[in-house]
A and B are shown apart, each in its own frame.
Chain A
């Protein structure tokens, strides 16, 4: 074993004047950064293990702790910067593929922040959501081309089954396994109270959660973990996961250390085994195979559940989405390259896929050019951070959005990017019982309810400002958007005008 070249990422600073040696930090840190030295009767620190999750900082009763970036600088080099060097140290030491968690953190453009919204002035009145009705409900699913009525005005068209969202925001797929049971329960209960949906992810569904079925979307991914007829019928809709924004082109990763008894039973895999989903579905090698799977799932559920198809935003998304609509999907989910994950190869996460804003604009436009946009709903994911991102996504053409990272942040995630270690101090991305119990679903589900309710209020304010009182009148309403700091090509792809135009 050669020398370990790695240096700490973070420095933990303990203010000796404030610290009362209570050892809360020692008990709280699953990474064993803090430890108690009995001989000297003092709490000590091992910086090298710190992931900067803020658990100790938040819980320290005397606010004695501060965490900083480790003040060790490499010689300045724009090309061989610290991160590039450290990655080589890690790989040359272990021979492994670099793993990361959460979404792409690299400084690519964030188009949400380069689009601005409109508001009414004089020529049309803004609408006050405190005094007038303001509708944010959306209906997701396949729509017939038109409605038919008989001579007496009676509706003849039988509508395909659609699902209704009170707010156009859902909790995106996070499997039981990648996140804890308590995190799952919080999402399910919040979805129920909010009149929206959460997504099981690809890890199956514990029978205890079947009671939240009417607010559940069950996912079918390439690993088919936990997929059986009862499971398919347990939810309100089914989602076929082809790809994920954080790791387009490859399947899911669940490290074996997160596979305990209950996860094992739910996924139908042995305890402690890595759950690595195949890159493709082994029954989908083409678009016509996708159609067969869509209809197999519909057969298995008696045509009572809409089937979504989730794809990662990649170069050719528009054409793929068109194929997916024609294959019979009731909704397309497109996940952008900033979408989160419990574990993904770093190179894939940081270099594969395209921004969701561009993919969304291109897909919506293409489906309209082909005259098929109205057949199918379009849901986007991949780093929707706040209500204005939601509003901009809808103005670009989305029906609704999924949030994953924002939801776990509401549950206490501090974006330390260490989910794959399974040692989440906040009880979210872990299966260790002593960590899981830190997340109390009775309390935490309310934080999710608060978050979405707050966003809903903000969405209503923004809509009212634009003189709109129903969110469907914003969908694809790109005149409500103007770009700043964008070039001609970006404006063209987004289908928006420049500010001042």
Chain B
């Protein structure tokens, strides 16, 4: 059977996210408890977490988390990394043995900074982040058996094949302190057995956990691939991650406009809009970014350096609940997954289709 990445596998899922707007940090135990409650929404074939704020002493370095299938590909990849980046630190990511977690790849992380001359010598690389994302895409495309699964600054993802609570235990997430956590439990419809296929998906600081199957996959894929991305995994989540990276980082759209792109208002609603200016803006968004509309059932939680965004498809075909207590906002597939870690939330609501929950960290602006 073809490995994931060579074919596309639909999945069902559980998602959960917690953010502290005042950047107070907390370890991974709560998010594990929340995602573990939704055990039956996943089937043991994929689980993962994204954590923001975990590498304060390396906050100016890109943290590359990489799976290797062999020592030889590790050597080749490291050679590539050394030629393009200054490596501040390289280490194997600490894990603890968990009975159910098997077929473990080599798991390494590198704190790196692009070599100054490397950035300018490539004529189409305008900045550090663009250079880094290109290098990540290059490794994932050209180095068979190596897969960069996290590449942001002061953040990291941890994922693999297994139930999410076991993956959390395996990666010792109780030892990491973050101001924002997202989690994912996967229910793929067949057996991918590949660690790279689990969520979250990331590019630079963007991470996405996603419940759903997007029906517009090939439209979205062919659209982002026009702009230099390469969808190596053939998963819906990967393409959503690239869409956001492209819209916000490359096209410099404000985040709320990027949300209007992927979860666009209906034409009928646009026609009802009273302000000509708003109408024109929405029409322009739909016309120019028609192929970036994400269609089909999804609920997603996006993490980035400024905060967290939770979003449903336009007609809410997948569950998503949000809650607020103190400095914290919680989002999850099920309300129970919030209540298990948050007694008496001040507010609980079910966001409407296409209406995002945007939570910015203190001091951040859209």
**What is the interface of chain A, defined by CB distance below 8 A to chain B?**
120, 123-125, 127, 132-133, 135, 137-139, 141, 143-144, 146-149, 153-155, 157, 159, 162, 368, 371, 373-374, 466-470, 472-480
Contact partners of B189 in chain A: CB under 8 A = 123
B317 at the interface (CB under 8 A from A): yes
Q: How far is the CA of A147 from the CA of B248 in the complex (A)?
A: 11
Contact partners of A480 in chain B: CB under 8 A = 218
Question: Are B215 and A147 touching (Cβ within 8 A)?
Answer: no
Q: Mark B319-359, 1 if CB is under 8 A from A, else 0.
A: 00000000000000000000000000000000000000000
A468/B287 contact (C-beta < 8 A), A124-B213, A153-B254, A477-B217 known:
no
Question: Are B219 and A155 touching (Cβ within 8 A)?
Answer: no
Of all chain A residues, the one with the shortest Cβ separation from B314 is: A469
Q: Mark B1-42, 1 if CB is under 8 A from A, else 0.
A: 000000010111000000000000000000000000000000
How many cross-chain pairs have Cβ atoms below 8 Å apart between A and B?
126
**What is the interface of chain B, defined by CB distance below 8 A to chain A?**
8, 10-12, 189, 212-219, 222-223, 225-227, 251-254, 256-257, 264, 266-268, 277, 280-281, 283-291, 293-297, 314-315, 317, 366
Question: Are A148 and B223 touching (Cβ within 8 A)?
Answer: no
A36 to chain B minimum Cβ distance, whole angstroms, is 58
Which of A124, A155, A469 makes the CB contact (< 8 A) with B280?
A155
Question: Are A133 and B281 touching (Cβ within 8 A)?
Answer: no
B220 to chain A minimum Cβ distance, whole angstroms, is 8
Question: Are B215 and A466 touching (Cβ within 8 A)?
Answer: yes
Question: Are B215 and A124 touching (Cβ within 8 A)?
Answer: yes
Question: Are A473 and B223 touching (Cβ within 8 A)?
Answer: no
Q: How far is the CA of A47 from the CA of B313 in the complex (A)?
A: 63
Which of B11, B256, B288, B297 makes the CB contact (< 8 A) with A143?
B288
Contact partners of B267 in chain A: CB under 8 A = 135, 137
A155/B281 contact (C-beta < 8 A), A133-B268, A139-B290, A149-B254 known:
yes
Which of A127, A144, A477 makes the CB contact (< 8 A) with B288?
A144
Question: Are B219 and A477 touching (Cβ within 8 A)?
Answer: yes
Question: Are A475 and B291 touching (Cβ within 8 A)?
Answer: yes
A470/B295 contact (C-beta < 8 A), A132-B315, A143-B288, A162-B287 known:
yes
Which of A132, A374, A468, A476 makes the CB contact (< 8 A) with B295?
A468
Q: How far is the CA of A480 from the CA of B252 in the complex (A)?
A: 31
Q: How far is the CA of A474 from the CA of B315 in the complex (A)?
A: 17
A144 to chain B minimum Cβ distance, whole angstroms, is 6
**Known pairs A124-B214, A475-B290, A479-B218 / 10 extra A-B pairs, C-beta < 8 Å:** A124-B212, A127-B315, A133-B268, A147-B251, A147-B288, A371-B226, A469-B295, A469-B315, A473-B296, A477-B219
A124/B293 contact (C-beta < 8 A), A132-B315, A467-B215 known:
no
Question: Are A374 and B291 touching (Cβ within 8 A)?
Answer: yes
Contact partners of A368 in chain B: CB under 8 A = 222, 225-226
Instruction: Name 9 A/B residue pairs within 8 A (Cβ), A-sorted.
Output: A120-B215, A146-B288, A149-B252, A149-B253, A159-B288, A469-B315, A473-B219, A473-B291, A477-B217
Contact partners of B289 in chain A: CB under 8 A = 147
Q: How far is the CA of A480 from the CA of B286 in the complex (A)?
A: 22
Contact partners of A162 in chain B: CB under 8 A = 287
Question: Are B293 and A472 touching (Cβ within 8 A)?
Answer: yes
B309 to chain A minimum Cβ distance, whole angstroms, is 16
A147/B285 contact (C-beta < 8 A), A155-B280, A469-B315, A472-B290 known:
yes
A38 to chain B minimum Cβ distance, whole angstroms, is 64
Of all chain B residues, the one with the shortest Cβ separation from A132 is: B315
Question: Are A476 and B213 touching (Cβ within 8 A)?
Answer: no
Contact partners of B294 in chain A: CB under 8 A = 473
Contact partners of A159 in chain B: CB under 8 A = 280, 283-284, 287-288
A430 to chain B minimum Cβ distance, whole angstroms, is 40
Contact partners of B11 in chain A: CB under 8 A = 123
Of all chain A residues, the one with the shortest Cβ separation from B271 is: A137
Does more than half of chain A's interface fall in helix, strand or loop, or is it mixed? Answer: loop
B168 to chain A minimum Cβ distance, whole angstroms, is 26
Of all chain B residues, the one with the shortest Cβ separation from A166 is: B267
Question: Are A473 and B293 touching (Cβ within 8 A)?
Answer: yes
Of all chain A residues, the one with the shortest Cβ separation from B8 is: A479
Question: Are B217 and A124 touching (Cβ within 8 A)?
Answer: no
A291 to chain B minimum Cβ distance, whole angstroms, is 23
Question: Are A477 and B266 touching (Cβ within 8 A)?
Answer: no
A153/B256 contact (C-beta < 8 A), A470-B293, A470-B295 known:
yes
Q: How far is the CA of A472 from the CA of B290 in the complex (A)?
A: 6
A467/B297 contact (C-beta < 8 A), A123-B213, A473-B216 known:
yes
Q: How far is the CA of A154 from the CA of B284 in the complex (A)?
A: 12
B184 to chain A minimum Cβ distance, whole angstroms, is 16
Which of A147, A468, A470, A479 makes the CB contact (< 8 A) with B264?
A470
Question: Are B219 and A472 touching (Cβ within 8 A)?
Answer: yes
Q: How far is the CA of A368 from the CA of B218 in the complex (A)?
A: 13
Contact partners of B256 in chain A: CB under 8 A = 153
Question: Are A473 and B295 touching (Cβ within 8 A)?
Answer: yes
Q: How far is the CA of A475 from the CA of B49 in the complex (A)?
A: 34
Kindly name the residue among A124, A137, A159 whose own CB sees the greatest number of chain B CB atoms within 10 A: A124
Contact partners of A479 in chain B: CB under 8 A = 8, 217-218
Of all chain B residues, the one with the shortest Cβ separation from A141 is: B287
Contact partners of B254 in chain A: CB under 8 A = 149, 153
Question: Are B314 and A476 touching (Cβ within 8 A)?
Answer: no
Of all chain A residues, the one with the shortest Cβ separation from B10 is: A123
A100 to chain B minimum Cβ distance, whole angstroms, is 38
Question: Are B257 and A472 touching (Cβ within 8 A)?
Answer: no
Q: How far is the CA of A139 from the CA of B284 in the complex (A)?
A: 10
Q: How far is the CA of A133 from the CA of B314 in the complex (A)?
A: 10
Of all chain B residues, the one with the shortest Cβ separation from A496 is: B218
B284 to chain A minimum Cβ distance, whole angstroms, is 5
Q: How far is the CA of A162 from the CA of B283 in the complex (A)?
A: 10
A89 to chain B minimum Cβ distance, whole angstroms, is 52
Q: How far is the CA of A437 from the CA of B11 in the complex (A)?
A: 61
Q: How far is the CA of A246 from the CA of B130 in the complex (A)?
A: 48
Q: How far is the CA of A468 from the CA of B293 in the complex (A)?
A: 11
Q: How far is the CA of A133 from the CA of B225 in the complex (A)?
A: 29
